[in-house]
Amino acid sequence: MDALKIIANGFVLTCDPQNRGGAYNLLIRNGRIAEISDSLDLFTALHPYATIIDASGKLVVPGFVNAHFHSDSVLLQARTNGMHFGLWKHDIRFQECDKKLLEPGSYDDVRSLYLASYFSHLKSGVTSVGEFGPPVDSKGLIQLLQAIDRTEVKSVVTLQNWDQIRQANELGPKRPKFMVSIGREEDFTVYSFENLTRAARDLGVPLIAHLAEQRDDVEIVKKNFQKNALALLRDYNALQPGTLLVHLNHVTESEIDLVEQLSATVAIAPRSTAFKQTGYPALRSLTRRNVRLCISTDWANQDVLLELRFLHELPLLVSGIRQLSPMELLRMATINGAYALGLSAETGSIEPGKSADLTFFNLSDIRVPFTASRPTAEELALLLVRSLTSRDISDVMIDGEFYVGRGEIMTMSEEDVVEGFRKTFDRFFPVSSRPLPSEPEELAAERPAGTRGKVLPFVPEQRVPAEGVEGFEEGFQIIQPPPGVFEIKNNSVNMQPPPALPPPKAPGPKPELSKDVKRIFGEDEGF
């Protein structure tokens, strides 16, 4: 007999081609969506022995897809917080930790790290991840894959070196899904392009290009090849419809033309790049074109909803950014991400034939805005993007089975996951060497005494963006210092004593209160 389940009485956002949304019931057979109907009576009459799961007071959406994530960031963020991305490769302590993770003695740490990363994804409603992990050796790759498999989250893992590529080839036809990285811009050579594209073709997997995150990366390619990175990919047949492009913070209109012409997908992470201080995706241009965009959280954050909220609110702060509709944002975090990872036939939307990968939000909390009895798809999407958080996720289903129930992991003790990761953290960061939550010591030592950083406010709304500037960096300008407080000389800020304040006036006598006035805070004269 078929394993039948009916998800009944919930509000559903399908993210299918019709973008259906409203009160629907879902029939699940053997882990896949079989039918969608607004009539529960029809389902119960045809399938009287099906297990009925009451989703009253819940919103059901496709499981989120995090198209690009570095799971090693869950550990290494302790060294990168507050540090410009361009300084990471020069920071000795960061490099020591990064190198230590690649050592054979760290296999158990890799396992505990990936359990923590992927169970955190699961509790955040993410059911599929594009993994861009550390370049571990073949045994480290096996540990990584086994840990991901333990969580049941679907993943597409990027192969970053020849040891990993050989190991993936040895796994045979039943291997997990992979992508092949074309490498860092500073390492691009004709030889690497030819061999990596051939390796991807032999494995039958797509390429992933981590491009133009920093302006320096763009200049390196131009210097070495006398052309931009996307033109270089095109010339070596590496820019295909299946190629996943990540970041694109510093690209020109002509490069976006290539992306649009070849129907490649772009994974953007505006919130992450803001924290890494590397620039921002070329959103003004990308959102005007017919380019498929998907969401990635990139570094040290597994919560896709935070990226959606950031993008939703960004046009309120920066002029010239198109306001993406809540439904567009939701599709970026679901079906578009599934396309990016080559999983769109399997997941990313609620459609007959696809896996029942579902995320359930509790709408019964009094803090959640009230929903009409018959809400539209756009109203539900707006509620999700504007008001809901990962704390409102009650349940997560993968292939028709619950792996998060009532907000708790169901397949492994969360305490054990946390304890395992804590041991790894303590091994990498003994108490005596842990960084303070301030700027790196190296930078503090180099900074002249008595200096401070520049304050960058948003400019007025009517300001017209400068021509030829990518991203939305031009939305900021330097505040002029108030006279007599500090002055800027030779790009440093010299603090001057502020004007003396007048002495405070002596307090006058307190007014008398009527004897029949009731004192709320007792008889203490201080209140």
- Please determine, for residue 526, whether its predicted confidence score (pLDDT) is greater than 50: no
Same domain, 116 and 57: no
> DSSP for 78-117?
HHHTT--GGGGGG-HHHHHHHHHHTSGGGHHHHHHHHHHH
Q: Is residue 127 part of a domain?
A: yes
Tokens 């992470």 found at: 269
In a domain, 369, yes or no: yes
Tokens 């049941």 found at: 152
**Is 427:109 a contact under the CB 8 Å cutoff?**
yes
- Closest alpha carbon to 155 in 123, 196, 122: 122
**One domain for residues 29 and 78:** no
Residues 332 and 374 in one domain: no
CATH number at 262 reads 3.20.20.140
Could you tell me if 194 and 327 lie in one domain?
A: yes
Q: What is the pLDDT of residues 50-109, one digit of tens each?
A: 999 999 999 999 999 999 999 999 999 999 999 999 999 999 999 999 999 999 999 999
- Residue 515 falls within a domain, yes or no? no
Domain span at residue 378 reads 1-62+345-412
Spatial CA neighbour of 198 closest among 160, 237, 234, 158: 237
Q: Distance of CA 475 to CAs 284, 347, 478, 490, 491, Å?
A: 12, 37, 11, 24, 21
Radius of gyration (Cα) for the chain, nearest Å? 26
Q: Does 395 map to a domain?
A: yes
Q: Of 426, 459, 480, which one is at a domain's C-terminal end?
A: 426
Q: Is residue 370 part of a domain?
A: yes
Residue environment code for 471-481, b if the CB has 16+ CB neighbours within 10 A, otherwise e:
bbebbeeeeee
Which of 375, 396, 426 lies at the terminal end of a domain, its last residue?
A: 426
What stretch of H or E contains 247?
strand 244-247
- pLDDT attached to residue 246: 97
CB atoms closer than 10 angstroms to residue 456: 11
Helices (H), 291-376: 304-317, 326-332, 335-340
* Burial of 90 (C-beta count, 10 Å sphere; 0-12/13-18/19+): exposed
Q: Kindly state whether residues 384 and 304 are assigned to the same domain.
A: no
Q: Cα(335)–Cα(343) distance, rounded to whole angstroms?
A: 9
2 assigned to some structural domain: yes
- Mean pLDDT, to the nearest integer, of 327-345? 98
Residue 505 lies in a domain: no
Residues 339, 361 share a domain: no
Read off the pLDDT band of 446 (50, 70, 90).
Answer: low
Alpha-carbon gap, residue 313 to 321, rounded angstroms? 10
pLDDT value at 203 more than 80: yes
Are residue 88 and residue 23 in the same domain, yes or no? no
- In this prediction, residue 425 carries a pLDDT of 96
Which residue, of 412, 439, 466, is where some domain finishes?
412
Convert the pLDDT of each residue in 283-309 to its tens digit. 999 999 999 999 999 999 999 999 999
For residue 391, the domain's CATH number is 2.30.40.10
Residue 354 shares a structural domain with residue 400: yes
Same domain, 58 and 70: no
Q: Which of 8-12, 172-176, 220-224, 422-426 has the lowest mean pLDDT?
A: 172-176
> Is the full-model pTM beyond 0.85?
no
Q: Residue 444: is its pLDDT beyond 70?
A: no
Q: At what angle do helices 304-317 and 377-387 cross, to 10 degrees?
A: 90
Residues 279 and 329 in one domain: yes
Helical H runs in 236-303? Answer: 253-262, 270-276, 283-286
Which DSSP helix (H) or strand (E) runs through 294? strand 292-295
Q: Give domain status of residue 98, yes or no.
A: yes
Whether residue 380 has pLDDT greater than 90: yes
pLDDT at 302: 97
- Are 351 and 321 members of one domain? no
Is 399 found in the same domain as 320?
Answer: no
Domains identified in the chain, total number: 2
pLDDT value of position 34: 98
The separation between CA 218 and the C-alpha centre of its own chain, rounded to angstroms, equals 23
